[in-house]
Structure 1
Amino acid sequence: MHPLAGLHVLNTRPAGQAAALTAALREAGAIVSELPLIGIEPREPAAPEERLLLDLDHYAGVIFVSANAARRGLDVVAGCWPQWPYRLPVYAVGKGTAAVLEDAGLTVILPERADSDGLLALPALGAVSGQRFLVFRGEGGRELLRNTLQARGATVDVLELYRRVLPAAAAAQWQAMTVSPQVVILTSPDAQQHWRQVAGADALRPLWLVVSPRMHAEAVAAGARVVEAAGADTGSLLVALQQMREQLAI
């Protein structure tokens, strides 16, 4: 059975990170095109930031806000620590982020709701006065986690380990496409912004599949038809696509 048979889906995950989702979509019967809308540029920690890594075992917990933050974070930690500090709690914002960390052998604390609000609702992050946390993220990330934990009395350090950029070839790749997608998958606010930039007047033609309430609100404000998945992981996206197809008959 192919629940997505004939549905034309545009996968906008970064190059090198799109294959698993594309394969799952095609197995479900979808026609898939790929248009990477996010390029990941590594950012090396400066000397003061390296000292944060050396103090890793002094933290009450570390928080990874994306799969890319997890990949980069594991790389830089490995340069300072031969193994992960014993009993250091690890938090992930969603299933995709958790999967990267679990593949490295870490035990991960995961919220039911896959966003910063979900993390902040965890009991372990409620009473944090006097505790110290380290957040791994990309450059220019949201300040909600840091600001809220600080308001609760915690000390919060941040390591920004990569930059999100629009790939130079994205506009030409979009213009070269001969078939318009029915659904575009957007798994980050930057991808959503870049989609509007690249597609221009055509951006509102397909239905947008997004992964957070914040993205949903921005999509509605832009005038898009939008469906929100429970998370950015492949399973959540497939479930949302199947439910969307049943409800909208596309």
Structure 2
Amino acid sequence: MTDCLFDATLNQIRALVTRPQPEGGRLAERIHQQGGRAFVLPMLSIVALAETQEVRDRVLQLDRYEKVVVISQHAARFGLELIENYWPQRPIHQQWFAIGETTRHTLAQLDVPAVCSRQGNDSESLLALNGFQDITGQRVLLIKGKSGRDFLEKTLRQQGAQVDTLEVYQRLCPDYQPDEVRQQLADHGINVILAGSGETVRNLCQYLPQTILEHCRLVIPGQRVARLAETLGFRQVYTATGADHAAMLSVLEKINDETFL
């Protein structure tokens, strides 16, 4: 982190950032630049899956798909690394889509132009795009992590598309000592926790007692994750418009202005 503060719009914020590295460190740096304090304790580990013959066969058939949908920035990074081993030039006349601006930006950095919804960062927002209003008979490839939500895959099939998946990474829960997370909150005077997904929230709950969940401010992206967090016991849930840094920081600015901080 640098010692130079560009402004003090987050001067009351002491945040625990639970994103995997290196994204967690980048978000913590942004908080620091706005006068806040941030500590990174990832609640997800992102690990590439082994390249099996089934995976190679799927990649070699990339040109048979009219649409390729990339589910996350990690899928973009691991997926493109794999594809470039077999496709020095990607198939032409193929539409690429991203879920969320962060994923679209990651693809752009890898020289893959992709379309994403400006209305949200979830599967529902993607399905509302014009490109998915009539997909009967089209072949669609989903590049994603292992397991996870299957809503998009099921919906596309119900709408008549032929859907295959390419799983390129898995999400694991880090192994911390039983009291380590709770001690971090106490030692650093944490007054807000940032979580980027439902799985992150679930993993967080493994390390925190119910009494802390009820009094902890939690910033998450989207209403679906908000409902999950409330079901798990969080009572002060703040919903950002997306999982990107700008959306999360915007919510932190509002929290910073609240008189009870």
| TM-score, scaled to structure 2 | 0.90
The residue that corresponds to 2:238 in the other structure is 227
Q: Which amino acid aligns with 1:191?
A: T
Output one character per residue of 1:40-86: Cα deviation in whole Å (capped at 9) or x when no partner.
12112422232221111221111111111111111111111112222
Q: Give 2:45's aligned residue.
A: 39
Amino acid at match of 1:76: L
What displacement does 1:118 show?
Answer: 0.4
AA partner of residue 229 (structure 2): A
- Runs of 4+ in structure 1 over 3 Å off: 169-173, 244-249
Aligned partners of 2:20 and 2:46 also within 8 Å: yes
Matching residue within 187, 190, 194 for 1:185: 194
Structure 1 CA distance for aligned equivalents of residues 259 and 142 of structure 2: 39
* Structure 1 match to 2:112: 106
1:215 and 2:225 aligned: yes
Can you list the C-alpha shifts for 1:66-123, whole angstroms capped at 9, x where unaligned?
1111111111111111122223211111111111111011111011211111011111
Deviates more, 1:45-54 or 1:119-128: 45-54
The residue that corresponds to 2:162 in the other structure is 155
Distance 2:237 2:143 in 1: 29
Using the alignment, how far apart are the partners of 2:178 and 2:108 within structure 1?
35
Of 52-61 and 81-90, the range deviating more from structure 2: 81-90
Task: Name the stretch that deviates more: 14-23 or 31-40.
Answer: 14-23
Query: 1:203, 1:14 → 2: CA distance?
Result: 21
- The 5-angstrom pairing of residues 72-111 of structure 1 reads 72-111=78-117
Q: How far apart are residue 176 of structure 1 and its match?
A: 4.2
**Does the residue aligned with 2:215 lie in a helix, a strand or coil?**
coil
Contact 1:35 1:173 in 2 (8 A): no
User: 1:134: which partner in 2?
Assistant: 141
Which residue matches 1:241?
A: 252
CA distance in structure 1 between the aligned counterparts of 2:134 and 2:151, rounded to whole angstroms? 17
Structure 1 unaligned blocks of 5 or more: none
CA drift at 1:244: 3.4
Aligned partners of 2:99 and 2:221: how far apart in 1? Answer: 12
After TM superposition, list the pairs within 5 Å mapping 1:168-179 onto structure 2: 168-169=175-176, 171=178, 173-177=180-184, 178-179=187-188
Residue identity opposite 1:43 in structure 2: L
SS in 2 for 1:203: helix
Point out where structure 2 has 5 or more consecutive residues left out of the alignment.
1-6
2:207 paired residue number: 198
Q: CA RMSD in A?
A: 1.7
The separation in 2 between residues aligned to 1:170 and 1:106, in whole angstroms, is 41
Query: Is 2:32 the partner of 1:26?
Result: yes
Aligned with 1:116 (options 120, 123, 126): 123
1:245 Cα offset (Å): 3.3
Q: What residue identity is the alignment partner of 1:127?
A: D
**Aligned sequence identity (%):** 27
Identify if the C-alpha distance between structure 1 residues 149 and 26 changes in structure 2 by more than 3 Å, giving closer, same or farther.
same
Name 1:16's counterpart in structure 2: 22
- Deviating more after overlay: 36-45 vs 114-123: 36-45
* Alignment CA distance shift 1:39-1:243 (3 Å): same
Contact 2:19 2:44 (8 Å CA) reproduced = yes
| Deviation for aligned residue 1:249 | 4.8
| Counterpart position of 2:4 | none
Q: Return the letter of the residue paired with 1:64.
A: V
Q: TM-score, normalised by structure 1?
A: 0.94
